[in-house]
Structure 1
Amino acid sequence: MSSGAAPDPSYCRFIARRGSPPLDGTASLGVTGVEVDLGADKPRHIWSYGQLRSEEPIRPNAIDVLLMSKDEPGASLFVQGARFAAELRLRAPHLSARAAWLREKRMWFFLLAIIAALVFAAYLAGVSPAKSIAKALPDSWRERLGKATRESMTEGHKECIDPAGLAALTRLTERLSKGVPGNIPFSVHVYDWPLMNAFAVPGGQIVLTKGLLDKSVSPDETAGVLAHEMGHGIELHPEAAIIRGFGLGATLEVMLGGTTGGGLANVGLMLAQLGYSRGAEREADKHALELLKAADISPKGLGNFFTRVMKLEAEEGDKAPGAFSWFRTHPLPAERARLVSEQRDYPSSPALDASDWQDLKSICKKTRAPEDAT
């Protein structure tokens, strides 16, 4: 219900469609909608209250509004005036901040209802509920979660951005991506981190460390590790692990751009500590072998890497780093080395030529701090 008489006409600027010149005029609140007067030689526009949309929710202290209307798709109307905004909130309550909040809550309940149904259906079918939920999530949500996880896991380490190294990394990633089902895009990042490590995070994002590149004796070894992490990404293992360990509600909130307080800062640590099941590791290995074969890269590099991992475990014992060590979070290297050795030979070529391999190993010649990233 209106609070009283309508305010005097307010200054407005009307744009009929994108690219059209703006027209100055006045806007007033009529009986059925916003009435726009652009001068005697221009037609009068009336936008009914029920068809109005606002670029931003109209808050109690608003001093102007930017409106669109289903009555004139593509047009926009900017109106100045605190009294106009306050009265419009009463006549078109669906434009208020409270209404926007309620719509968001309804969206959450609707989304949770859908996910609950998916979980129940997955349970009946004997499928992992967390993985079923991960598959149902929009790509943009997984990308947000992946960014938050990657930033958490690499905190304190600079990203390596030497142009020649990045170009070599892109060529290797594109070569391995030839065999990726469904053309899933992968984004690979290298960090100036001495620990030998590699991990996949949600949204098709993969992290390699300088320590892993330094300890790899050939591009085929690095390609094998990268293919393995791509295998985790293909199976959505990172998303499923976070949903299981971090909780569905908190995971959805960060995917939607929200925050959950201090707990969110530890999402990367939680993912690293959770690790993957032996079944998940075997799935990733299977994909790695398929990707390497599709790219005409020998799997022997991956087998050699597993063999050297076993030696490192034996030599370092309890002194081996724990939480983020590639070989501590990827069990059974002996079994996996045997799996690779059982693969039939096929025509292959090095994952990178000598020049590209040196460029990739030197990728940390140039770095940037997290706050410098765009």
Structure 2
Amino acid sequence: MQANSGTGARSPSYCRYTRPGNNPVDGTASLGLTGVEIDFGTGKPRTLWRYDGLKALEPLRANTIDVLLSSRDEPGATLFVQGRAFAASLREHAPHLSARATRWRRARLWLLLIASIVGIVTATMVTGWSPLRFYAGMLPESWRARLGDAARDSMTEGYSQCVDANGTAALARLSERLSKAAPEGVTFDIRVYDWPLMNAFAVPGAKIILTKGLLDKSDSPDEIAGVLAHEMGHAIAMDPEVGMLRSVGLAAGLEVMLGGTGGGLANIGVMLAQLGYSRSAEHEADVEALVLLKNAGISPKGLGSFFARVTKMESDDHSSGPSGWTWLQTHPPAKERAKLVRAQLDYPSTPALDFQSWNELKEICKTTAKSTATKHGDG
């Protein structure tokens, strides 16, 4: 005995069955134990569409008077059935066709989408995974170098490169000492510019810019080594590449990497100079700097002294107006960073440079490479 309910379950309802490429066929539909039974008349075979394979064009509601069905049993075929009673009984036999079930399925899809988004965001926060960092890491070395050249040329436009032979040799010795402590395969290109600004910048391609203002206001080679190690930390993490992709987009990045000179890239160096890294990126660069200094046998106290003086300048900046320490504009507060350095345990170390080499480095701008570009205003 069929466990059907309602008049529509006992009495066949008019239906119209259509298969692709064929004319519609009239018949009757009734609700059987396992599915909708379609009868085309005496002597013709019946067709069964199982309940679990049914789909309805519109969700079945209490006031539904006819239904248009399709089925996994006959892909492409449709069945139009008239009758409020049939629709009501079908809702009981195939509850997944009801409006409530349809709303829940849609809500479930949204919940899954939201959960996926939350999961991706959480994974990004916990693991530090970043799509932009992934894309940056996929860039060929030659492209990153070309992008770094464009950024450095733009950033230092109008300022001559400092090329005194003795100073350049001293810089090379310091760079080599720190580079040996860096991950294998990372090669740094470090240059000094006759720029009164006190700052240092990492640009794409592991290229680093030091300014004369930074050398002039540093008290020891260990301070410069600490700042340089910090910028190396940014370069190792590819923070400049990530910042560039975030700010100018993939299209503009591809333009310069493919040799373009569009106007949209004219200020890419200025943009990178003003780019502020997140606190997390700055902290990671500080941690990497401490690792590099330790592996190179250079005391972190120089970096700590530098942060301590910057902390004082931050205080003076708040109390008496701009101090000219441009480092303050592009890096987060130094007080907590100084605490991180002070927390490091002592280890065997030697000065980053001997006395003579330090003096030679500070005099690196005695000789400069001429620049024909228009000079920026002092920052």
Residue of structure 2 equivalent to 1:264: 265
Q: Residue deviations 1:158-203, cap 9 Å, x none?
A: 1000000000000000000122112300010000011111010000
Residue of structure 2 equivalent to 1:303: 304
Residue of structure 1 equivalent to 2:345: 344
Residue of structure 2 equivalent to 1:220: 222
SS of the residue aligned with 2:184?
A: helix
Residue of structure 2 equivalent to 1:202: 204
Q: Distance in 1 between the 2:249 and 2:330 partners?
A: 21
Q: 2:183 aligns with which of 165, 181, 184?
A: 181
CA contact (8 A) 2:158 2:372 kept: no
Q: 1:191 aligns with which of 190, 193, 196?
A: 193
Residue of structure 2 equivalent to 1:319: 322
CA contact (8 A) 2:198 2:212 kept: yes
SS of the residue aligned with 1:179?
A: coil
Aligned amino acid, residue 335 of structure 2: A
Q: Distance in 1 between the 2:361 and 2:211 partners?
A: 11
How far is 1:321 from its partner?
Answer: 4.2
How far is 1:245 from its partner?
Answer: 0.4
SS of the residue aligned with 2:261?
A: coil
How far is 1:327 from its partner?
Answer: 2.5
Residue of structure 2 equivalent to 1:280: 281
How far is 1:355 from its partner?
Answer: 0.6
Aligned amino acid, residue 242 of structure 2: A
Q: Residue deviations 1:213-246, cap 9 Å, x none?
A: 0111000000000000000000000000000001
CA contact (8 A) 1:145 1:251 kept: yes
Q: Distance in 2 between the 1:141 and 1:124 partners?
A: 31
How far is 1:371 from its partner?
Answer: 5.2
Structure 1 124/142 Cα, relative in aligned 2: closer, same or farther at 3 Å? farther
Question: Please, which runs of 5 or more residues in structure 2 have no aligned partner?
Answer: 1-119, 374-379
SS of the residue aligned with 1:181?
A: coil
Aligned amino acid, residue 158 of structure 2: G
1:91-240 counterparts in 2 under 5 A?
126=124, 127-240=129-242
CA contact (8 A) 1:158 1:369 kept: yes
Q: TM-score normalised to the size of structure 1?
A: 0.64
SS of the residue aligned with 1:247?
A: helix
CA contact (8 A) 1:177 1:183 kept: no
SS of the residue aligned with 1:199?
A: strand
SS of the residue aligned with 1:328?
A: helix
Aligned amino acid, residue 331 of structure 2: H
CA contact (8 A) 1:123 1:129 kept: no
Stretch of structure 1 that moved more, 124-133 or 234-243: 124-133
Q: Distance in 1 between the 2:213 and 2:313 partners?
A: 14
Q: Residue deviations 1:301-330, cap 9 Å, x none?
A: 0000000011122223431348xx223211
Structure 1 125/253 Cα, relative in aligned 2: closer, same or farther at 3 Å? farther
Structure 1 139/231 Cα, relative in aligned 2: closer, same or farther at 3 Å? same
Residue of structure 2 equivalent to 1:7: none
Q: Distance in 1 between the 2:167 and 2:151 partners?
A: 24
Aligned amino acid, residue 298 of structure 1: S
Q: Residue deviations 1:121-178, cap 9 Å, x none?
A: x989632111111100001100111011111111111100000000000000000012
Stretch of structure 1 that moved more, 129-138 or 309-318: 309-318
- Whether 1:291 and 2:292 are equivalent positions in the alignment is yes
Q: Distance in 2 between the 1:320 and 1:141 partners?
A: 38
Q: Distance in 1 between the 2:370 and 2:317 partners?
A: 31
How far is 1:253 from its partner?
Answer: 1.1
Q: CA RMSD in A?
A: 1.7
Aligned amino acid, residue 303 of structure 1: G
The number of residues matched between the two structures is 248
Q: Distance in 2 between the 1:124 and 1:197 partners?
A: 34
Q: Distance in 1 between the 2:145 and 2:181 partners?
A: 22
Q: Distance in 2 between the 1:182 and 1:349 partners?
A: 23
How far is 1:362 from its partner?
Answer: 0.1
Residue of structure 2 equivalent to 1:84: none
Residue of structure 1 equivalent to 2:362: 361
Q: Distance in 1 between the 2:138 and 2:313 partners?
A: 40
SS of the residue aligned with 2:209?
A: strand
How far is 1:265 from its partner?
Answer: 1.2
Residue of structure 2 equivalent to 1:26: none
Q: Distance in 2 between the 1:300 and 1:358 partners?
A: 20
Aligned amino acid, residue 156 of structure 1: G
Q: Distance in 1 between the 2:175 and 2:295 partners?
A: 13
Q: Distance in 1 between the 2:136 and 2:341 partners?
A: 29
Q: Distance in 2 between the 1:191 and 1:326 partners?
A: 16
